[in-house]
Amino acid sequence: MMKFELKNVCAFGDSVMKGIVVDNENSPEGGIKYKISNKGFAARCRERLDIEVENFARFGGVVSHGKKLLGRYVDKIRKSDFVLFEYGGNDCDYNWSNIAASPDEEHLPNTPIPQFVKEYSSLIDNVKLLGSNPVLLSLPVLEPMRFFKHVTRGINGENVLRWLGGSVLAIDRWHSRYNMEIFRLGALKKVPVIDITSVFLERKNFSDYICEDGIHPNEHGHALIESAIIDYLGNYR
């Protein structure tokens, strides 16, 4: 294990890394409004470890956005001890409105798996070239029933269910495929993968840690993610 004083971490990813949660107090009836929580796992780790965490995650982020962001923050990456990546949740997502309109046609995810693996590999290699240490996060769990209800709001849910083969669990299986690719990438590129999936699955009622949209961890879920990251980064204190 590397020995150094942990001071600086850069973080890239999507809304989960950003700390986005459902704003229950201000969400309209039958709808969902989001907010950035000050209790997101990145903020929690910053406070818990007393380190600098530069969080460049963005709502809706996919792995292709990471390449552009790396080029923008080269100097900060060079000065960081670790670069945390959390991609995949939006990459595996679909345009559900298009599916509802044409359920008998083929539809591709935002980032098909071969492209996801290629672009994620490039991110890892670029961080290594800049002299920092890439660390991948696995995906938090998805609550398929809530997610299905969320993405089919205002569209033809029966058509979407038909395209899924009659079961909303197909969403969860597809999400899990991307998670498997993240662990494979870690092994292939010889970089750590912090398992933030199991901390949810270990809970009997893991859905209690997921927001109403079925995909974003709530603040209790962010506390679980924090514990997994602290277990890893804390070894460098």
Whole-number Å distance between alpha carbons of 46 and 40: 10
Residue 235 above 80 pLDDT?
no
What pLDDT digit, counting tens, does each position of 27-79 carry?
A: 887 788 999 999 999 999 989 888 889 999 999 999 999 989 999 999 999 99
Whether residue 125 lies inside any domain: the answer is: yes
- Give me the pLDDT at residue 6, please: 76
Interhelix angle 169-189/113-129, rounded to 10 degrees, is 30
Query: What residues make up the domain containing 127?
Result: 8-236
pTM over 0.95: no
CATH number assigned to the domain comprising residue 178: 3.40.50.1110
Whether residue 132 lies inside any domain: the answer is: yes
Number of domains in the chain: 1
Q: pLDDT band for position 236 (50/70/90)?
A: low
As a whole number of angstroms, the longest Cα–Cα distance in the chain is 56
What pLDDT digit, counting tens, does each position of 111-144 carry?
A: 999 999 999 999 999 999 999 999 999 999 999 9
Whether residue 1 lies inside any domain: the answer is: no
**Look-up of token digits 């000065």:** 79
Whether residue 3 lies inside any domain: the answer is: no
Please answer whether residues 104 and 159 qualify as being in contact, where contact means their C-beta atoms are separated by less than 8 angstroms. Answer: no
